[in-house]
Copies of this chain bind each other. A is one copy, B any other.
Amino acid sequence: MRFDEAYSGNVFIKSKQNYEEAQAVIYGMPMDWTVSYRPGSRFGPQRIREVSIGLEEYSPYLDRELDDVNYFDAGDIPLPFGNASKSLDLIAGFIRQLMQDGKIPVGMGGEHLVSWPVMKTVADNYKDLAIIHMDAHTDLRVEYEGEPLSHSTPIRKIAEYIGPKNVYSFGIRSGMKEEFDWAKENGMHISKFEVLEPLKEVLPTLEGRPVYVTIDIDVLDPAHAPGTGTVDCGGITSRELLASIHAIASSGVNVVGFDLVEVAPIYDSSEQTANTASKLLREMILGWVK
């Protein structure tokens, strides 16, 4: 006596009704309490689901339909407002469960810090894990004004956890000099400004490896994603980001988890960014969940 949820906007469009049989599990991480500039990404996951009903179910890029993939949308993880530490623990706990159940985690942020407990937990399960990171920002800070739990730190944390050589950042156009220096000194890959071309060079070297992909929506130029906390001009187009997703899809890497973060509806007056995020997720699901 509940109307079918597949097109309700309560779940990502065409989400299957059953966790047990799902290959991939979608979940939201509605946290934005450590951001240094404009908050609001806590409402990102829900808005992405809501606009997903406007999507076509078929991808003319990949010639595949959403019906061909078995995914389940678990909803938003309930997180305690203002308590970053406890929030990260709750996220980690949820991901551990997914790992035990053999699911591919598909996360929606929320601020980028939420990716840290996810990447860490996935790394605990895939020993040779590599990270592909697309972002305007390095996110390599040790702390932000004394605070080690900040949305500018997740890539530093995972780089130190799995080794900087296993982390590949693309599209970076903002950061402190110290961050760029640290990356260079520690053998971490950073492609400044560009995503698609350097990615195409990196992918063959990652063939066969388990890879977690984390995409900060602000890797897009503000023209393509105004609805995010920290807009930074000079970014890539949605077309380049789509092509990058497709490049990963047709490469030999094994995507074992991924997320899309930092969508903030309050700065997105035409819902353009949420719609873009929704289409990007469709392509990631169709391209990466095999």
> Which residues of A are in contact with B by a Cβ distance under 8 Å?
1-5, 7-10, 19-20, 32-40, 42, 46, 50, 53-54, 56-58, 60-61, 63, 65, 72, 74-78, 80-84, 86, 144-147, 149-150, 172-177, 180, 192-193, 221-224, 226-227, 230-235, 237-239, 242, 266-272, 275-276, 279-280
- Residue of B whose beta carbon sits closest to that of A25: B1
A150 contacts B239, C-beta separation under 8 Å:
no
Bound: A145/B86 CA distance, A: 11
Contacts of A227 in B (CB 8 A): 270
A10 contacts B7, C-beta separation under 8 Å:
no
The SS class assigned to the A binding surface is loop
B177 contacts A58, C-beta separation under 8 Å:
yes
Contacts of A146 in B (CB 8 A): 80, 83, 86
Q: A61-B173, A266-B267 are in contact. List 6 more A-B contacts (CB 8 A).
A: A7-B78, A33-B33, A33-B34, A38-B266, A50-B50, A82-B82
Number of copies of this kind of chain in the complex: 6
Bound: A180/B78 CA distance, A: 27
Contacts of A172 in B (CB 8 A): 60
Contacts of A272 in B (CB 8 A): 222-223, 226, 231, 233
Bound: A266/B229 CA distance, A: 12
Contacts of A174 in B (CB 8 A): 56, 60
